[in-house]
Structure 1
Amino acid sequence: MKTIFLFLTTFFSVTIAISQTEMNTEVIDDKGNAKLLGPINKEGLQNNTYKDWFNKNYNDYIVNEKLVETFKDSLKDYKIKVFLGTWCGDSKQEVPRFYNVLETANFNLDNLEVIALDNEKTHYKQGPNGEEKGYNIHRVPTFIFYKDNKEVSRIVEHPVETLERDIEKIVTNQRYTFNYIAANYIQYLLAEKTIEELQNEEKILVAQLSEFVKGSRELNTLGYVYLRAKNYEKAIYTFKLNTLIFPYKHNVYDSLGEAYFENKNYLEATKNYNKVLELNPEDENALDMLKKIKLVTKE
């Protein structure tokens, strides 16, 4: 399984550029909930709408100052790009803590860029101006570390150990494997190869991923990132791969059925919703979707 480990050292080569666009843009969704979108900073996270959770999680986090001392000088050579959602529980927890660690390390916040992504179905984990494109974001928060304008590593959704320990490993060149490596690997493969090429390697790929994937939700989440962006081919491939890794889980067939339905392939959608019912005969969503398919195909 050396392939995925090799991926860790060769995947990321995206260069970083600090954008000069409007900061701390707030929008109100249809339900009356406020959220920030696009480039933001600490001041935006401390305004009246967000300050309660930001300040609490910032102040409640006890930074390991002794550990920070071991990497604070090395950290100065890095730039960091953060993608978060002000609607996301993990972002609300980890981003304030991350600011606390950086400020304890006297990190220059001019070298920190923070982008807030959307949670609307039509813009799922997307920025208002496509700020997420090219960065392989499928979980928030994601903290990306750059040195000499090249990505070195990232912390995905939450630290593997603690923020301080993860940062130490990243900036002092220790071995570090971030969360959801399987999903990131699939993103990399889909950017580098055609789906036809990947299908020829399917058995090997399934065997590799089975060792690293963190349950069926890992690729499922990635599949929905593609689906909400209307990239049906990649969404269907990702969901289908998930069914090969987790053939006994009804939810993976439900997601694949949804992708086929949205792509108007009602025959394949029907097959997958029927598979859901084989595994979970009382699944209400599958039953409802099969009724919907019958109505659509009669029109």
Structure 2
Amino acid sequence: MKKALLAAVIAPLFMMPAHADEESKGGCGFEDNAQGGLFATCDQQEEKKEVILTGELGFDDLRQQPGYDDNFASYQPDATLVAALQKITTPTELVVIVGTWCPDCHRETPRLAKILEQANNPHISVKYIGIDRSRTDPEGLAAAYDFQRIPTVLVHQGGEEVGRIVESPEVTLEHDLFKILHAR
């Protein structure tokens, strides 16, 4: 009797979709579920025709995502901050962990690309790593980084992380990137 009652109470938990409580969360992140695993959370409903690209992604891969070109074209970075980013001479690598299924990534990734295009600084490189809803990619590239929410922009100089922008910037991407790079 106890086993049947326990099974009746627990069984619905296993049948619930992994994203059942997404409406109560903000942005795109990862939460522990009752079974000890992770599931992705996203509070927006933009995901109807999702395409999940994983591993190292190129600019053309990202441009094919919904709204990318529109968000890229419409974003107008602060010209003063872009000019300051043009003057960076220390080799800087940005590692951007994205989910092509994530609305926050659809918004922030094109903006970052626009900033970097306008800065046109050969000392700043970018690597995009696409992950699936379980925070993984086939090559295990994302596993090298500690992140809980996406997009996560990790800023590296001299082989060390000097800062990061998680999910959305405090002010703007160009402002936050400038702040990270000039705090050293």
Per the TM superposition, whether the score is higher than 0.5 is yes
**Structure 1 runs of 4+ off > 6 angstroms?**
none
Query: Percent sequence identity over matched residues?
Result: 31
| Aligned-partner SS, 1:114 | strand
Matched, 1:45 2:62: yes
Unaligned runs of 5+ in 1: 1-30, 175-299
- Structure 1 segment 52-201 matched on structure 2, within 5 A: 52-74=66-88, 77-108=91-122, 111-119=125-133, 124-173=134-183
Q: Call closer, same or farther: CA 1:33–1:95 in 2, change over 3 Å.
A: closer
The Cα of 1:70 is off from its aligned counterpart by 2.0
Residue 297 of structure 1 is matched in structure 2 by none
Q: Deviations over 1:5-62 (max 9, x none)?
A: xxxxxxxxxxxxxxxxxxxxxxxxxx97422111101111223xx1x41101111111
State whether residues 74 and 172 of structure 1, in contact with CA within 8 Å, keep that contact through their aligned partners in structure 2.
Answer: no
CA distance in 1, matches of 2:169, 2:99: 17
- Structure 1 segment 167-246 matched on structure 2, within 5 A: 167-173=177-183
Give the AA of the match of 1:118. D
CA distance in 2, matches of 1:86, 1:75: 31
CA distance in 2, matches of 1:41, 1:109: 18
Higher helix share: 1
CA distance in 1, matches of 2:74, 2:90: 25
Give the AA of the match of 2:168. H
Residue 35 of structure 1 is matched in structure 2 by 52
Give the AA of the match of 2:169. P
Higher strand share: 2
State whether residues 81 and 113 of structure 1, in contact with CA within 8 Å, keep that contact through their aligned partners in structure 2.
Answer: yes
CA distance in 1, matches of 2:91, 2:106: 27
State whether residues 37 and 116 of structure 1, in contact with CA within 8 Å, keep that contact through their aligned partners in structure 2.
Answer: yes
Give the AA of the match of 1:127. D
> What TM-score results when the alignment is normalised by the length of structure 2?
0.68
Unaligned runs of 5+ in 2: 1-47
CA distance in 2, matches of 1:109, 1:54: 25
Q: Which moved more, 1:131-140 or 1:107-116?
A: 107-116
State whether residues 86 and 120 of structure 2, in contact with CA within 8 Å, keep that contact through their aligned partners in structure 1.
Answer: yes
Q: Call closer, same or farther: CA 1:157–1:66 in 2, change over 3 Å.
A: same
CA distance in 1, matches of 2:90, 2:78: 18
State whether residues 152 and 170 of structure 1, in contact with CA within 8 Å, keep that contact through their aligned partners in structure 2.
Answer: yes
State whether residues 154 and 161 of structure 2, in contact with CA within 8 Å, keep that contact through their aligned partners in structure 1.
Answer: yes
How many pairs does the alignment contain? 137
| Relative contact order, higher structure (CA 8 A, sep 6+) | 2
Aligned CA RMSD, in angstroms, stands at: 2.1
> What TM-score results when the alignment is normalised by the length of structure 1?
0.43
